[in-house]
């Protein structure tokens, strides 16, 4: 049983692991829509607050909702482009109306996804988990270099900071045990940030400017408005998120040695749908299970839900205390990147470990793993290959996790399920010939 202090510390580690991904979405959307600094600050606060509520809903759960696994929910990057497009052509109120309706769609469509679980055998699960990890590696490397588009991208000091942070995490995991090893990522981030501060790479200006307290206000940007086109767009976005989250649930199931059933997936997706509705109400964003935290669970070996309850509580507090939220943003990209290399690499290793239990001497299994990983990684690495396709199709196919998962499921149906039917059909004729 972990003490309250340890739960809070481990929860903070998970918050820091997902914080950059959570904050960057409101920053991108706010900047693209030319919102004022005060409005962008509200978006960040609302996002963190709703992330915390959504995480608590999933982890604590009820009889009908919540996956009850150590999962963290954060805003999905898939929604960034569509929200900007909807708000640019109409307004933010229309975007939030579409988010609310699409969240209700997820709640209602969750049972359908649960019935599809028979198409996710071990070979598909292992391939999907591997794809999730591989698709995150470029994110880690971009951060390690200083952040994509930054003036000092790839500078030696960024690379050294990332390497140093990774080395600290590896050192702690090699020479320490117990609680110290469990917070190795947090310690790496702290030491890396201190070194960066000594190098003049850390600024506390955002902390000084942030207010001490703010309350998240429902419908901050006005009452929701509804457009059929906007609603269909956001439903497509959330179908992608449902596929991603299903893969994350399987990955967490393997890491925590928990059997994920179809009922678990349905409850998890229902919880996600409720979180999306809350995102629309509080003027935040659609939410999905964050795969980066799977790597942290695997790396630390701490699989208790209490830690995620602590992380959810911290996110709620950060949403109410902007100055504390701003304090977590001072961690340089390079330091985050060094930690991400270890975390995301663990996701890849988990996928490979799952595939090690599959008989890859069978040609069907080998083809499923090979083609799905290749397609998923290729889609993520060269998204421009789909630029000539319609916008909706392009949005789906540029997501490596979705394309890889779909490839694995389709190949499993074509190569395994149809092969079983052929063999079963062939048995009676063989018997009759023998008789």
Least confident of 47-61, 168-182, 317-331: 317-331
48 in Cβ contact with 315 (< 8 Å): yes
More confident site: 34 or 361: 361
In 39-52, which positions are buried (b, 16+ CB within 10 angstroms) versus exposed (e)? bbbbbbbbbbbbbb
Number of Cα atoms under 13 Å in the Cβ half of residue 76:
30
Is residue 427 one of the residues assigned to a domain? no
Count of beta carbons in the 10 Å neighbourhood of residue 203: 12
Domain presence at residue 358: no
For residue 56, the model assigns a pLDDT of 92
Evaluated on CA atoms 218, 222, 223, 225, the torsion sign reads negative
In a domain? residue 418: no
pLDDT tens sequence across 306-357: 888 888 888 888 888 877 666 666 778 888 888 888 877 877 887 888 888 8
The reported pLDDT for the residue numbered 430 is 41
Distance separating the N- and C-terminal Cα atoms of the chain = 65
**14: number of Cβ within 10 Å:** 29
181: containing domain? 2-351
Q: What is the pLDDT of residue 163?
A: 94
Give the SS3 label for residue 73.
Answer: strand
* Helix, coil or strand: residue 288: strand
From 88-97, 180-189, 413-422, the region with the lowest mean pLDDT: 413-422
> Is residue 313 included in any domain, yes or no?
yes
Number of domains in the chain: 1
The Cα 358–Cα 353 span in angstroms is: 9
pLDDT at residue 37, as a whole number: 66
**Alpha-helical runs (H) found in 70-183:** 80-89, 92-115, 122-144, 156-175, 178-182
Is the pLDDT higher at 421 or at 189?
189
Whole-prediction pTM value? 0.66
Is residue 382 in some structural domain? no
Give 435's pLDDT tier (boundaries 50, 70, 90): very low
Scanning the structure block, which residue is given the tokens 């990209």?
Answer: 333
pLDDT digits (tens, 9 = 90+) for 361-420: 888 899 999 999 999 889 888 888 988 888 767 767 877 777 887 898 899 988 876 665
Give tens-digit pLDDT for 111-151: 887 777 677 788 887 887 788 778 778 878 888 998 877 88
Torsion of CA 143, 144, 150, 155, to 10 degrees: 180
Are 368 and 403 within 8 A, CB to CB? no
Closest CA to 113 of 380, 409, 347: 409
Is residue 72 one of the residues assigned to a domain? Answer: yes
Alpha helices in 145-227 (DSSP H): 156-175, 178-182, 184-198, 205-209
Q: Rounded distance, CA 331 to CA 148, Å?
A: 16
DSSP three-state, residue 171: helix
Asked if residue 87 is part of any domain, the answer here is yes
């Amino acid at each position: 049983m972990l003490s309250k202090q340890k739960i809070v510390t481990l929860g903070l580690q998970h918050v820091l692991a997902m914080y950059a991904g959570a904050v960057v979405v409101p920053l991108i959307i706010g900047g693209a829509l030319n919102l004022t600094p005060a409005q962008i600050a509200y978006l960040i606060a609302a996002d963190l607050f709703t992330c915390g509520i959504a995480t608590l809903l999933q982890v604590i759960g009820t009889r009908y909702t919540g996956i009850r696994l150590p999962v963290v929910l954060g805003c999905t990057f898939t929604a960034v482009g569509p929200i900007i497009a909807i708000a640019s052509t109409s307004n933010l109120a229309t975007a939030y109306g579409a988010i609310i309706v699409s969240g209700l769609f997820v709640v209602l469509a969750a049972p359908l996804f649960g019935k599809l679980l028979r198409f996710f055998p071990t070979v598909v699960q292992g391939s999907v988990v591997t794809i999730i990890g591989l698709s995150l590696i470029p994110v880690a490397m971009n951060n390690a270099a200083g952040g994509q588009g930054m003036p000092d991208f790839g500078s030696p000091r960024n690379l050294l900071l990332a390497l140093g942070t990774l080395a600290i995490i590896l050192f702690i995991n090699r020479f320490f045990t117990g609680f110290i090893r469990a917070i190795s990522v947090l310690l790496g981030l702290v030491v890396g940030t201190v070194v960066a501060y000594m190098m003049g790479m850390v600024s506390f200006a955002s902390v000084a400017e942030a207010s001490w307290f703010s309350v998240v206000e429902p419908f901050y940007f006005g009452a929701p408005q509804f457009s059929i086109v906007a609603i269909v767009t956001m439903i497509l976005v959330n179908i992608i998120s449902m596929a991603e989250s299903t893969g994350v649930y399987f990955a967490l199931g393997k890491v925590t040695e928990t059997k994920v059933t179809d009922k678990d997936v349905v409850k998890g997706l229902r919880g996600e749908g409720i979180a999306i509705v809350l995102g629309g109400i509080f003027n935040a964003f659609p939410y999905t299970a964050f795969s980066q935290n799977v790597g942290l669970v695997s790396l630390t070996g701490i699989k208790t839900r209490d830690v995620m309850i602590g992380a959810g509580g911290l996110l709620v507090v950060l949403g109410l205390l902007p100055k504390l939220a701003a304090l977590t943003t001072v961690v340089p990209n390079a330091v985050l990147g060094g930690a991400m290399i270890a975390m995301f690499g663990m996701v890849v290793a988990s996928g490979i470990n799952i595939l090690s239990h599959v008989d890859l001497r069978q040609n069907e299994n080998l083809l499923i793993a090979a083609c799905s990983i290749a397609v998923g990684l290729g889609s993520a690495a060269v998204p421009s290959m789909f630029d000539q396709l319609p916008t909706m199709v392009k949005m789906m196919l540029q997501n490596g996790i979705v394309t890889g998962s779909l490839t694995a499921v389709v190949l499993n149906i074509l190569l395994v399920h149809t092969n079983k039917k052929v063999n079963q059909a062939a048995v009676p004729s063989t018997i009759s010939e023998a008789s």
